[in-house]
Structure 1
Amino acid sequence: MKNLDKGTVVRTVLLLIALINQILVMFGKTPLPLDEESVNNLANVLYVAVSTLFTTFMTLVAWFKNNYVTSKGKQQKEVLKQKGLTK
């Protein structure tokens, strides 16, 4: 764990939180202590929408940061290959 950089750890933790939250939403559970009777339907829809957007955003960030998708990233991958630091 000592070799992981802080950005990777933060992105991974946020992605796990987003995925756990999304799983709870799929099963009709809310991680926030919301009383079903006191919360109207619009609030539930907004919660699900924000939760889905958060999960989607964190998934894209985690994918983008951990893959060589930009031209700079592709150059970095080539340098790593030349130095024998990647598969």
Structure 2
Amino acid sequence: MDKGTAIRTIVLAIALLNQFLVSLGLYKIPGTEEEQTAFLSTVFTFISATVAWFKNNYVTQKGRAQKEALQRHGLTK
């Protein structure tokens, strides 16, 4: 797993945990009301999930094989 994939996975896990805690009422962002906390948490989760989904995360065996093929042909950064 490359560094970018690991970072996106960790951020997504944090967002999902945050969303879970907010839904149970166990977490509140200081200086906000409950509705604002839920909204901000939902936005954070949506953005991190979208980025994690959109990026080409080579996590499966097929994905890693694709990445290796791209690297052999010089088609990646």
Does TM, normalized by the shorter one, top 0.5? yes
Counterparts of 2:46 and 2:4 in 1: how far apart (Å)?
18
Could you tell me the percent identity over the aligned residues?
43
- Are 2:57 and 1:57 equivalent residues in the alignment? no
- Are 2:10 and 1:20 equivalent residues in the alignment? no
Letter in 2 for 1:22: Q
Task: Please state how far the C-alpha of 1:66 moved relative to its aligned partner.
Answer: 3.1
Q: Larger relative contact order (C-alpha < 8 A, sep ≥ 6)? A: 2
- Give the unaligned 5+ runs of structure 2: 58-62, 70-77
Aligned counterpart, 1:7: 4
How much is the aligned-residue C-alpha RMSD, in angstroms? Answer: 2.5
Q: Which stretches of structure 1, 4 residues or more, deviate above 6 A after TM superposition?
A: none
Counterparts of 2:27 and 2:55 in 1: how far apart (Å)?
29
Letter in 1 for 2:52: A
- Distance verdict in 2 for CA 1:31–1:8, change over 3 Å: farther
Q: TM-score, normalised by structure 1?
A: 0.58
Task: Please state how far the C-alpha of 1:31 moved relative to its aligned partner.
Answer: 6.1
